[in-house]
Structure 1
Amino acid sequence: MEKEQQPTTSTHNQLLDSPRGPTLSTSTSSFEALDAHDPNLSRLATIMFRKTEEYITQELNGPLEDYKLLEEMNKATIAKYKDMSQIADNLSVSTNELSLKFQQLAPLMQQIDEISDTVDKLEAAAYKLDAYSIALENRVKCVLKRKSGANTTQ
């Protein structure tokens, strides 16, 4: 029978320090299920694994919470854009209605402008007529004064 060759220390270090990183030893574990073991060590190992589990869970839940937040923000943004789109549509409809009403009122506004021009001309004519009537009244008064002055001298 051949002796099983034990790897030398340098060979053993080469296995542990392979190009991909350290590899696990092929030897059996020092902890066997049926062997007596330190209960304090077992309790500490359990605590360590529980804490490690909590840490990894939190590390994995962090990005998940970020994605949930992003999803909620996206939903809020979508809702806001829908509201803004509805407002823009309503503004467009209102603008079109106002434009149509303005087009319908344009002939009436033209008539109002023409009436306003006519009223301005009538007002100017009334001022001229008033000035003429005042001047005429003054002439009549002047003629009457002359006549009454001529009647008193006779």
Structure 2
Amino acid sequence: MAATGEEAAEMDCISRVSLAHPTVLSLGGSSEPRGEPGETASEGQEVVTAAPKKPINSSTCEDYHLLENMNKLTSLKYMEMKDISINISRNLQDLNHKYASLQPYLDQINQIEEQVSSLEQAAYKLDTYSKKLEAKFKKLEKR
């Protein structure tokens, strides 16, 4: 989730902070910076100089920017998928309308098919009856 309002302003400020010069840190228990760069530490203390790097919170800010970019890309993909689904829906409606306009013709085709099958049955009956008549005629002719 992308930060908004004050959080975003804080993250921008944090990301823009840079260390002007190296800081001398003490590992002896105190968390305050000790002296200027180049000074030597007191006895028993080690001196660690921090190189001018990004602040620790800048990685968090970069993570937020990465998440924000990922959210934008995801949003674009969903918008593309929405457009595709709208086109599919529109095409499906067109097909349904075309099918509805063809439905009377399809019904006629079904009626014709039923009539043709009943005519075929009548033709077979007529054929068998004519064969019987022919057989009877030949039988009568022989007498």
TM-score, normalisation: structure 1? 0.59
SS class of match (1:41) = coil
Deviation at 1:60, TM superposition (A): 2.1
Match of 1:116 among 113, 125, 129: 113
Q: Answer yes or no: is 1:48 the counterpart of 2:45.
A: no
Relative distance call for 1:58 and 1:138 in structure 2 (3 A) is farther
Deviation at 1:102, TM superposition (A): 1.1
Identity of aligned residues (%): 36
Match of 1:130 in 2: 127
Rg (Cα) greater in structure: 1
Query: Separation in 2 of the partners of 1:105 and 1:132?
Result: 41
Query: Separation in 2 of the partners of 1:88 and 1:123?
Result: 48
Structure scoring higher RCO (CA < 8 A, sep ≥ 6) equals: 2
Query: Separation in 2 of the partners of 1:97 and 1:84?
Result: 20
Aligned partner letter, 1:118: Q
Deviation at 1:64, TM superposition (A): 1.7
Q: How many residues align?
A: 105
TM-score, normalisation: structure 2? 0.63
Q: How does 1:1-154 map to 2 (within 5 A)?
A: 41=40, 48-51=48-51, 53-54=52-53, 57-144=54-141, 146-147=142-143
What does the per-residue CA deviation read over 1:45-87, in whole Å, with 9 as the maximum and x for residues that have no partner? xx83433x43xx2512210221121012111111111111111
More strand by share: 2
Aligned partner letter, 1:41: T
Aligned partner letter, 1:50: A
Structure 2: unaligned runs, 5 residues or longer: 1-31, 42-46
More helix by share: 1
**How large is the Cα RMSD of the aligned pairs?**
2.7
